Structure 1
Amino acid sequence: MPVERRNKEPRLPPRGIVRLFWALHRGVYRASRGRIGLWRPRARGWGTLRLTTTGRRTRQQRSVVIGYIEDGPNLVSLAMNGWGEGEPAWWLNLRSTPEATADLADGRCQVRARAAAGEERARLWDRWRQINTELDAYAALRSSETAVVVLEPRPAAPGKDG
């Protein structure tokens, strides 16, 4: 008798587990002084970068490790908040101050963030969908649309690392 497959809602780990995973990831990155924890996207896979934003309320520098793919010179991430409700703090910070720094496995670059819209958003969402076939099911767990965030490289300020 054939096994019936049902379209199930994807199961997320408890919020505390998601937060613990990312805290451990940041800890490994810090303890290794940046030698472990960042990687470039692979064929049909995503990479990780360390994004440093300016806090929208504190104006202090805030860093987070996020997944990304490349789209030409641009870096593309999803503001998914671990598929939980609400926008991730890094995206709220970028909406307030779009200039940020991205530390990649092979160097640092200055970026300016924006939300993809229209055809560009659909194209980039489809690229993410090729990496994660359950993307739409995870996104459906949220009550608001998940922003597709484009980080465009920008020239480094004079006298700054680039």
Structure 2
Amino acid sequence: MDFTSAIRRLGRTRWFARIGRAVSGLDRRLQKRTRGRWSVLGKAVLPQLILTTTGRKSGQPREAMLLFARDGADWIVIGSNWGQEHHPAWSLNLLASPHAMVTVHGETTAVVAHLADDDERTRLMPALRAVWPGYDDYAARAGRELRVFVLSPST
């Protein structure tokens, strides 16, 4: 089993999710400094982006490190929040203000987000599961449907 497969397998467990929540801020800072080349786990092996939203209450920029899948020119992200019962703050921010920024490998792109409808969600979930098989486990633990967002480059 290679390193990426092992991480994906461990990622389905509760204890890994707890560790992931604890180190995500450190990982975000490391990835920004290395332009996405390095992660807390070592060389970045999973597709990750930094999503910068506008805080719905503060109006201030808020960053979140997320795994993503691609759908043509769009980035697809899911609000798993590591299997917690509540939706992640970044998803609430996108619902309040869909204009955001995506940074991948040090390159930043302005995007407009929309919440995937049922048909779109059904079509996109296999790509998200291919990146991180634990999403179904997270949804079961959270007891909620995980929000799927499509981030399209602004024109």
Q: Which band: TM-score by shorter chain?
A: 0.7 to 0.9
Specify every segment of 5 or more residues in structure 1 that has no aligned partner in the other structure, as ranges.
1-9, 39-44, 156-162
Shift in Å, 1:133: 3.8
Show the counterpart of 1:77: 77
What residue in structure 2 maps to residue 135 of structure 1?
Answer: 135
Shift of 1:35: 5.3
Give the 5 Å matches for 1:62-141.
Answer: 62-105=62-105, 107-141=107-141
**Does structure 1 residue 145 correspond to structure 2 residue 145?**
yes
C-alpha distance in 1, partners of 2:38/2:111?
A: 20
Residue identity opposite 1:124 in structure 2 = L
Distance in structure 2 (CA, Å) of the matches to 1:33 and 1:148:
28
Distance in structure 2 (CA, Å) of the matches to 1:145 and 1:27: 29
Tell me, what secondary structure is at the counterpart of 1:34?
Answer: coil
- Contact map agreement 1:74 1:153 (CA 8 A) in 2: yes
Consecutive unaligned residues in structure 2, runs of 5 or more: 1-11, 40-44
Question: Are the counterparts in 1 of residues 51 and 101 from structure 2 also a CA contact under 8 Å?
Answer: yes
TM-score normalized with structure 2 length: 0.79
Output the CA distance in 1 between the equivalents of 2:133 and 2:36.
30
Larger relative contact order (Cα-Cα within 8 Å, sequence gap ≥ 6): 2
Higher mean C-alpha displacement, 76-85 vs 131-140: 131-140
Contact 1:84 1:141 in 2 (8 A): yes
Deviations 1:57-87 (A, max 9, x none): 0001111111101000110011111111101
Displacement of 1:37 after TM fit? 4.5
Contact 2:101 2:111 in 1 (8 A): yes
RMSD of Structure 2 on Structure 1 (CA): 2.2
Pairing 1:56–2:56 present: yes
Larger helix percent: 2
Compare CA radii of gyration and give the structure with the larger one.
1
